[in-house]
């Protein structure tokens, strides 16, 4: 593993985010808060005062948190004949397809060639057309962008890049709902929160939420060591976005991204305390630990807990929050 403290972190309380996402989701058919699971036996075994898991595998029956962002961002974009498009490693594309179907719209989803068939089939089951792109997640992003411009499709991406900076902010704002739910569900504030990151949308939402509170927890970013664009970026001379050097072939499929979202990076840069990159073997162990606590987690979903276990000696006796961002993929 590799980790580095954030020398660009800004002190004090940061401005609060909007609660518009939560207000929208309260009115959405099928919405219900996901469970906050108190894993006291696991906490005891790991030397913690408490360990709580926000379990997103229950979200809208889609097995991940992604529909929070897609549904909120797309709610104001649908018009008669709108065709939505997205690039994805799996969960975001499924969420866009699900949201498009509920809005009566078509969806075109671009996936990198490394995507396993079960993830592609889950997207197709929501009524979307799937296009497989040779190369990486970033190759799928650029192919989606190019074809969508040519065809007049509406891109819904959770990564911000030059020329596309507004919708990803709405996606991250939608993710904020899960942290507002946590605030309502908890009986104590966490001392530390471990948040996994691909392009950084969820991590951005976590920073915006927690750092706007007076008693902010210690925020840790967790990435695969082969897809550590955020750690590379914060380690650069000026803390500016850099490309990951690894092969982006982690079993943490949802985190196989080489570049940080340009819309998420400002919040991440000023608000995260520590950046950590872990090996795949650590998330395999974390999946097993969560299963023992009755929580169904996939490899990406267990990455936050894997990050904690990698640094457990530094957090003994603390109250820790992790997020199970996705359930186990059923093949």
Per residue in 197-252, pLDDT (tens digit) is 999 999 999 999 999 999 999 999 999 999 999 999 999 999 999 999 999 999 99
Residues of the chain above pLDDT 90, percent: 98
Mean pLDDT of 314-324: 98
**Are 147 and 226 found together in one domain?**
no
Q: How confident is the model at residue 330 (pLDDT cuts 50, 70, 90)?
A: confident
Q: Is residue 73 part of a domain?
A: no
Residue 261 to residues 98, 113, 326: CA-CA distances in angstroms? Answer: 23, 21, 20
Q: Is residue 129 part of a domain?
A: yes
Mean pLDDT of 263-280: 98
Residue 1 predicted with pLDDT over 80: yes
**Are 125 and 216 found together in one domain?**
no
In this prediction, residue 75 carries a pLDDT of 95
Domain boundary among 107, 131, 155: 155
For strands 319-324 and 50-55, give the pairing. parallel
Domain boundary among 117, 132, 155: 155
Residue 32 predicted with pLDDT over 80: yes
Buried b (16+ CB within 10 A) or exposed e, 183-212: eeebeebbbbbbbbbbbbbbbbbbbbbbbe
Q: Is residue 132 part of a domain?
A: yes
**Are 84 and 139 found together in one domain?**
yes
> Is the full-model pTM beyond 0.95?
yes
**Domain encompassing residue 105:** 78-155
Residue 318 predicted with pLDDT over 70: yes
Residue 323 to residues 57, 166, 201, 203: CA-CA distances in angstroms? Answer: 10, 26, 14, 11
Q: What is the rounded average pLDDT for all residues in the chain?
A: 97
Rounded distance between C-alpha atoms, residue 233 and residue 269, angstroms: 9
Using CB atoms within 10 Å of the CB of residue 286, give its burial: 0 to 12 exposed, 13 to 18 middle, 19+ buried. Answer: buried
Cβ distance 252 to 196 under 8 Å?
yes
Cβ distance 70 to 47 under 8 Å?
no
Residue 331 predicted with pLDDT over 90: no
Domain boundary among 100, 121, 155: 155
Residue 130 predicted with pLDDT over 80: yes
Q: Is residue 147 part of a domain?
A: yes
Mean pLDDT of 174-199: 97
Mean pLDDT of 101-106: 97
Q: Is residue 24 part of a domain?
A: yes
Q: How confident is the model at residue 329 (pLDDT cuts 50, 70, 90)?
A: confident
pLDDT 10s digits, 61-78: 999 999 999 999 999 999
In this prediction, residue 171 carries a pLDDT of 98
Rounded distance between C-alpha atoms, residue 317 and residue 123, angstroms: 42
**Are 59 and 96 found together in one domain?**
no
Q: Is residue 160 part of a domain?
A: no
We report the CATH number of the domain holding residue 312 as: 3.40.50.1100
Q: How many domains does the chain have?
A: 2
Q: Is residue 20 part of a domain?
A: yes
**Are 172 and 301 found together in one domain?**
yes
């Amino acid at each position: 593993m590799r980790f580095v403290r954030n020398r660009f972190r800004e002190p004090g309380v940061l401005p609060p985010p909007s609660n518009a996402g939560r207000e929208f989701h309260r009115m959405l058919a099928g919405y219900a808060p996901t469970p906050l699971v108190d894993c006291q036996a696991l906490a005891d075994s790991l030397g913690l005062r408490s360990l709580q898991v926000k379990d997103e595998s229950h979200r809208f029956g889609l097995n991940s948190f992604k529909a929070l962002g897609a549904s909120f961002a797309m709610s104001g974009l649908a018009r008669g004949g709108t065709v939505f498009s997205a690039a994805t490693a799996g969960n975001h594309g499924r969420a866009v397809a699900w949201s498009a179907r509920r809005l009566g719209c078509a969806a075109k989803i671009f996936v990198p060639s490394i995507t396993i068939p079960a993830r592609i089939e889950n997207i197709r089951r929501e009524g979307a057309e799937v296009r497989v792109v040779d190369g990486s997640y970033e190759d799928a992003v650029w192919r989606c962008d190019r074809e969508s411009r040519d065809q007049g499709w509406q891109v819904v991406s959770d990564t911000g890049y030059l020329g596309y900076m507004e919708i990803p902010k709405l996606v991250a704002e939608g993710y904020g709902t899960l942290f507002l739910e946590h605030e309502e569900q908890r009986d104590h504030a966490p001392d530390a929160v471990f948040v996994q990151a691909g392009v950084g949308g969820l991590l951005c939402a976590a920073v915006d939420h927690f750092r706007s509170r007076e008693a902010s927890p210690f925020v840790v970013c967790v990435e695969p060591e082969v897809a550590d664009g955020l750690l590379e970026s914060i380690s650069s001379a000026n803390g500016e976005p850099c490309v990951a050097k690894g092969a982006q072939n982690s079993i943490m499929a949802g985190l196989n991204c080489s570049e940080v979202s340009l819309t998420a990076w400002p919040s991440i840069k000023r608000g995260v305390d520590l950046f950590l990159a872990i090996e795949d073997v650590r998330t395999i162990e974390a999946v097993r630990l969560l299963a023992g606590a009755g929580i169904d987690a996939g490899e990406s979903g267990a990455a936050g807990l894997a990050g904690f276990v990698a640094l457990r000696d530094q957090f003994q006796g603390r109250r820790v929050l992790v997020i199970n961002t996705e359930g186990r993929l059923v093949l």
